[in-house]
Structure 1
Amino acid sequence: MRTICFYFQVHQPFRLKPYRFFDIGDDHHYWDDFSNKSIMRKVAQKCYLPMNALLLELIHKYNGAFKVSFSMSGVFLDQMQAYAPDVLESFQKLVATGNVELLDETYGHSLVALKSKEAFKETVAKHTKKIQELFNGYTPKVFRNTELIYSDEIGAMIAELGYDATLTEGAKHILGWKSPNYMYTNSIDPNLKVLLKNFQLSDDIAFRFGNKTWADYPLTTDKFVKWISAVPQEEEVINLFMDYETFGEHQWAETGIFDFMRHLPDAVLSRTNFRFSTPSEVVANAKAVGKIHVPIPISWADEERDLTAWLGNDLQDEAFDKLYALESLVKECKDSDIKRDWVYLQTSDHFYYMCTKFFSDGDIHSYFSPYDSPYDAFINYMNVLSDFKLRLKEITTAK
């Protein structure tokens, strides 16, 4: 079996509004509703609606031979319901074809797997329930942790929850001489299959496609098919994992990204011995070649492929620790607003904005951040967290 597995991450955070020290104790609404709605609508018009329409067209055109998979964060699902019901309907149409697989993840697109096994299980269950509600009882069989964060221990937690497989980065420092183009197993529980991103081919589309200074610009379907055809015959699976916002938002329509995707299935199916599969189909049809050992967590972010996009500097670590110090109090609390804010405050983007890697991938971090600096992001977040803590203590003390 030679197959290509397309996976798209779909996520939008609930961004915080500017929140001053003087707002603490007075203003309990933290979210920038105008910004969140306007960004969601903008990305819907540029990416979600046209790309969903294109994928639906391709699935029908090739009679089900073209397949893709998505993981949609719970915070994205909430925003679709609130701001873009038309986008939700278009995703529902895709899933109804039977050629689109949905993956589970943490509801809040959080880093909770690094902190609390119990809270991790709870947020995953919440996400499963939301997927079932919105997609006619659909129950995911494959898991994708936030930003492909994975380790042996995290894999074992995922296996405990009963998933067949998980996705992660084919990081060089983990693979060594091995290829990402095989299926592996978790080193603690071999029942969990592990699919690894081919970062070279994935990033050619996601990051380099519109870069006119790139030596291989422009990327055409002919060129891409030539590259995948050069993959050794014994290597079975090419996993192309990327942000869904690649299409139309990160790579604008003017770059030709939609035309590239429109013509890619035909080029692959007619000129190579590859087909397209969902992650579950890869698990069912491919044979695992061995265990993958990941003792220290990896991710798909930045050159380092580690956790330093979200954790590691003093700002990030203090915010992260202060947040999860409130976990036991939140568990006692039954207030629905507190529960909602707790989920949204865990979203990894808040910590990403605090990253101080100015020289390593600094431009990418700046592109996604609504703040002038990581320090502004930290101050704003900690002000909000201070108010959240006050509310929490008030409610739990009053019981």
Structure 2
Amino acid sequence: MRTICFYFQVHQPYRLKPYRFFDIGEDHYYWDDFLNRSVIRKVAQKCYLPMNALLLELIQKHHGAFKVTFSFSGTFMDQLEAYAPDVLESFQRLVATGQVELLNETYGHSLAALKSKEEFAGMVKQHQDKIKQLFNGYQPKVFRNTELIYSDKIGAMVADLGYKGILTEGAKHVLGWKSPNYVYQNSINPDLKVLLKNFRLSDDIAFRFSNKTWEDYPLTTDKFINWINAIPQSEQVLNLFMDYETFGEHQWAETGIFDFMRALPEAVFKHTNFGFSTPSEVIDKVPAVSPIHVPIPISWADEERDLTAWLGNDLQDEAFDRLYELEAMVKKTKDPDLMRDWNYLQTSDHFYYMCTKFFSDGDIHSYFSPYDTPYDAFINYMNVLSDFVLRVKGKVKGLEKA
């Protein structure tokens, strides 16, 4: 069985509004509703609606032979309900075809797996419930951690939660001479299968498609098919993992990205010995070749494929540590407004905006950030967090008096 596994991450954070020092203790609403609605409506028109229509067309045209996989963050699903119910309905139509697999992740698109096993498990359960609610009782069997962050220990935690597989990055420094085009297994719990992103072929679509300085520009379907056919026959699985916003948002329609995707499945069927499968199908049908050892967490971000996009500088570490110091108190309150804000404040994007890497990946970071500098992002976040601390402590004090 030679197969292509197309997986798309779909995420939008709740962005913070400008929050000044003088707002602390006075203003307890942190979210920029206008910006959040504007972004999701813009991306809906450029990406979600046209790409969903295209995928539905391809699924119907190929009568069940073409399949794709999605992971929706909880913050994305909340914003669909609030600002884009038409997009939610289009995703529901796709899932109803039976040719689309949904994955679980953390509800808040958080880094909780690095800090709190209890919070991680709670967010996963919350995400399970939301998927079940919005997609007619759907129950995912495969997991995708925020930003494809994975380590041996994280994999073991995911296995303990009952999942049969997890997706992560085919990082060069982990694989060495090995290929990402096989199924591997967690080194602690071999029952958990590990699917690795083929970052070269994935990033050819996601990042290099419209880059006119790229030596292989323009990327045509014929060229991509030739690269697929060059994969050794013994290698069974080609995992193409990317942000869904690749289509129409990062790579505009004018680049030809939709035409490329429209032509790709038929070209695969006609000119290769590959088909298409979902992660669950791959895990069920393709045996693992060996354990993969990942003692230090990896991710799919930046050249290093590590955690430095979110953690590592003093700004990020201070904000991250201050946030998770509140976990026990927040949970003690059981206050729905505090729990919602706690959830949204954990979103990895807030820490991404504080990244101070200005070399190989600086342009990518600045593209996604609503702030002028990482320091602005840090100050704004810490002002919000200071007010959040006051609210949490006030609620706990009130409960103790009662």
Aligned to 1:139: 139
Aligned to 1:106: 106
Aligned to 2:48: 48
Aligned to 2:33: 33
How far off its partner does 1:325 sit?
0.2
Given the alignment of the two structures, is residue 390 of structure 1 paired with residue 390 of structure 2, yes or no?
Answer: yes
How far off its partner does 1:335 sit?
1.2
Aligned to 2:204: 204
CA distance in structure 2 between the aligned counterparts of 1:233 and 1:371, rounded to whole angstroms: 47
How far off its partner does 1:334 sit?
1.6
SS in 1 for 2:290: strand
Q: How does 1:124-203 map to 2 (within 5 A)?
A: 124-203=124-203
CA distance in structure 2 between the aligned counterparts of 1:240 and 1:359, rounded to whole angstroms: 26
Aligned to 1:269: 269
How far off its partner does 1:360 sit?
2.9
Aligned to 1:332: 332
Aligned to 2:12: 12
SS in 2 for 1:217: coil
CA distance in structure 2 between the aligned counterparts of 1:284 and 1:336, rounded to whole angstroms: 39
Identity %: 79
Amino acid at match of 2:263: H
Aligned to 1:87: 87
SS in 2 for 1:30: coil
CA distance in structure 2 between the aligned counterparts of 1:327 and 1:56, rounded to whole angstroms: 42
SS in 2 for 1:211: coil
For each residue in 1:95-140, what CA deviation from the matched residue of structure 2 results, as whole angstroms up to 9, or x when unmatched?
0000000000000000000000011000000000000000000000
CA distance in structure 1 between the aligned counterparts of 2:118 and 2:65, rounded to whole angstroms: 40
CA distance in structure 2 between the aligned counterparts of 1:206 and 1:147, rounded to whole angstroms: 15
CA distance in structure 2 between the aligned counterparts of 1:38 and 1:116, rounded to whole angstroms: 33
For each residue in 1:343-381, what CA deviation from the matched residue of structure 2 results, as whole angstroms up to 9, or x when unmatched?
000000000000000113000000000000000000000
SS in 2 for 1:222: helix
SS in 2 for 1:289: coil
SS in 2 for 1:5: strand
SS in 1 for 2:355: coil
Aligned to 1:61: 61
CA distance in structure 2 between the aligned counterparts of 1:55 and 1:113, rounded to whole angstroms: 32
CA distance in structure 2 between the aligned counterparts of 1:110 and 1:22, rounded to whole angstroms: 28
Aligned to 2:362: 362
Aligned to 1:238: 238
Gaps of 5+ in 2: none
CA distance in structure 1 between the aligned counterparts of 2:359 and 2:225, rounded to whole angstroms: 34
SS in 1 for 2:360: coil
For each residue in 1:141-179, what CA deviation from the matched residue of structure 2 results, as whole angstroms up to 9, or x when unmatched?
000000000000000000000001000000000000100
Aligned to 1:223: 223
Amino acid at match of 1:71: S
Q: How does 1:224-373 map to 2 (within 5 A)?
A: 224-373=224-373
CA distance in structure 2 between the aligned counterparts of 1:334 and 1:115, rounded to whole angstroms: 21
For each residue in 1:49-96, what CA deviation from the matched residue of structure 2 results, as whole angstroms up to 9, or x when unmatched?
000000000000000100000000000000000000000000000000
Moved over 2 A (4+): none
CA distance in structure 2 between the aligned counterparts of 1:250 and 1:359, rounded to whole angstroms: 20
Aligned to 2:71: 71
CA distance in structure 2 between the aligned counterparts of 1:398 and 1:170, rounded to whole angstroms: 49
Amino acid at match of 2:344: Y
Amino acid at match of 1:319: A
SS in 2 for 1:302: coil
SS in 2 for 1:288: coil
How far off its partner does 1:274 sit?
0.1
- Aligned-residue Cα RMSD (Å) equals 0.3
**How many residue pairs were aligned?**
399
For each residue in 1:379-398, what CA deviation from the matched residue of structure 2 results, as whole angstroms up to 9, or x when unmatched?
00000000000000001100
Amino acid at match of 2:162: G
Amino acid at match of 1:265: P
